Amino acid sequence: MQGRLSPPIDGFIQRFPMSSWQSEFYIASELGLKKIEWTVDFSTFYQHPIVDPSKYLETKGILEDSGIVANSVTCDFFMQANPFSSGKLEDLKGMFRSLFTSSSLSDGSILVVPLVDAGAPKSDADWVKAINFFKTLVQIMPERGLTIAFEMEVSPALQATFIRSLDSSHFGINFDMGNSAALGFDPSNEIYIIQEFIQNVHIKDRLLGGGTVPMGTGHTDFLKVGETLKAIGYEGDMILQCARQPLKSEKETISHYIDFCREVGLT
């Protein structure tokens, strides 16, 4: 996940590292990683390298030079806008249009939209607003296989119901194993219910009913998750979105987590 190979910004676990994003691609390559998932924030949206046309050549050169793929985006700007309680849901359409038309995103790119925290629908009316909003986005989505994968903190049955209310050729689900663990879901049960919609996976450890913690110290059953993903034939992205470790550098932390993933069968 973009930003995890840079020091935290303003105490946040996840923010786009405007001053160091370039170096992350080379560090990721040194670690043997294949991909970085962009993080796009509300406050710096139009300065982001995949949105600002003036940064296109720099971005293209870094991707080619590092050998790292970057064709998925976590749209943190969505939840940072507090769309349902602020009444600014429609205002976000222009931001999505900018991502849809970005020359830095290749065919088949995935936009992960967090319907969690401040971005979560809180009522039936909010869910209806969400469905209507994303249906209108289809009208401006490009003809290049781009999809939106929703990160949700509701039951797997409700996740499947929500996606079925949209066009599944354009929309899917981001399975976040840490969120699943925090909500007390059985990961095998959840994965089997939503398996046909899973477009993207986030690797994370969280406490039951609590926040993100270093991998192996929370309630995520990594072995069961890995076995189930293999059982359904999942071959998509596995994005490290893990807790920072204050006594280790960012590079050391990610290196440790890569080793952990190998041990629990998530590679």
Summarize pLDDT for 239-264 with one digit per residue, the tens: 999 999 989 999 999 999 999 999 99
- pLDDT band at residue 16, thresholds of 50, 70 and 90? very high
Q: Where are the domains of the chain?
A: 21-202+233-241
Residue with the larger pLDDT of the pair 65 and 143: 65
CATH architecture for the domain at 21-202+233-241: Alpha-Beta Barrel (3.20)
The predicted model scores a pTM of 0.96
- pLDDT band at residue 144, thresholds of 50, 70 and 90? confident
One DSSP character per residue, the chain reads: -TTTTS--BTTBSS---TTTHHHHHHHHHHTT--B--EE--STTGGGSTTT-GGGHHHHHHHHHHHT-B--EEE-HHHHHT-HHHHT-TGGGHHHHHHHHT-TTS-TT-EEEEEESGGGS--SHHHHHHHHHHHHHHHTT--SS--EEEEEE-S-HHHHHHHHHTS-TTTEEEEEEHHHHHHTT--HHHHHHHHGGGEEEEEE--B-TTS-B--TTSSS--HHHHHHHHHHTT--S-EEE-PPP-TTS-HHHHHHHHHHHHHHTT--
Task: Flag whether pLDDT at 152 surpasses 80.
Answer: yes
